[in-house]
Amino acid sequence: MRLIPFPVLCNYYVTYRCNATCAFCDIWEKPSPYISLENADRNLQDLKKLGVKIIDFTGGEPLLHRQMPELLALAKKYGFLTTLTSNGLLYPKFAEKLAGKIDMLHFSLDYYEKEKHNAARGVACYDFVMESIQIARNLGEKPDVLMTVFEENLDQIPFIWEKITVPNDLILILNPVFDYNQVRTGKPLSTKYFETMRFWAKKQKVYLNEAFLVLRENGGNHREKPVCKAASSTIVISPSNELVLPCYHLGLQNFPIENRLYDLYRSAEVQNLVKKEGRYEACEGCAINCYMQPSFAVELNKYWFKALPSTLKYNIWKKI
């Protein structure tokens, strides 16, 4: 049963460019422009009309966009919740201008061991993450540590929790790894992986969406009965000011927005594509977190119930 009939999230790609070269991501390989303030202003107004509540300014590395503070201010002006994830390299430079404009600020950190984290990200960003955490706290921000969890770094969870997030009173977000397109992240996840993740999910200030794990145990999205509601729960805007359908990762069709996002999204052509969400050939077995999270939120099913406890805990911790 559908609970929320309109999109709740916008994944707004401000640029595909990135100053890291993570092995589990291929976005940084793409040439890319940057979004303009003028287009963003108009699009945000239309997103408000469409019912969107949250703007995730993403990339690439979103802080490569030199007008990120202004973009965030626009989103706050229209009453959106904002979220931004950074590798930390540029946060110290822009921290004061960003303060108070990001409701959910995430710093990516996959290893407690500096050398391993830097190797995984392809750039020496560990020290910048540590510095960013302290600067953010000094500014009164409450950033989260976002850990992409593989089989290889399961043993790092206790160190990041005990040495970094607990002493700094931060939330540790455990983000299960996922494959997409040509990006492959290793062997199928083991029983130990699921047991370890569930163990840590019970700890104070550790966020893990249980529905992510259940979905993986069930083989991901299935085309004959899709759980994915990517296109109807989430609006994706590219750095070229295009509406991307059915999601960024599949990206079958891009529509130039041309100052008409509201009408474009509601058009018959777009809605016909929306109706096929989760049913494309490439959708079989998909478990992409950034589209499954909003999918779990808009439809009443077993995944909604699995996602609810962790969602409520996070919202209480963040006072959202």
pLDDT tens, position by position, 253-309 = 999 999 999 999 999 999 999 999 999 998 999 999 999 999 999 999 999 999 999
Domain assignment present for 1: no
Domain assignment present for 2: no
CATH number (domain holding residue 112)? 3.20.20.70
Average pLDDT over residues 219-223: 95
Angle between helices 289-298 and 210-217 (to 10 degrees): 100
Domain assignment present for 3: no
Nearest Cα neighbor of 44 from 274, 311, 259 is 259
Domain assignment present for 196: yes
Phi/psi of residue 139, each to 5°?
-90, 0
Residue 139: both structure tokens together: 């500014």
The rounded distance, in Å, linking the Cα atoms of 172 and 204 is 9
Domain assignment present for 300: yes
Domain assignment present for 278: yes
Which domain range does residue 32 map to? Answer: 9-318
Tally of structural domains, the chain: 1
Of the pLDDT bands very low, low, confident and very high (cuts 50, 70, 90), residue 183 is very low
List residues bridging with 84 in a β-sheet: 57, 105
The rounded distance, in Å, linking the Cα atoms of 197 and 213 is 9
Domain assignment present for 288: yes
Model confidence pLDDT, tens digit, residues 28-81: 667 789 999 999 999 999 999 999 999 999 999 999 999 999 999 999 999 999
Domain assignment present for 4: no
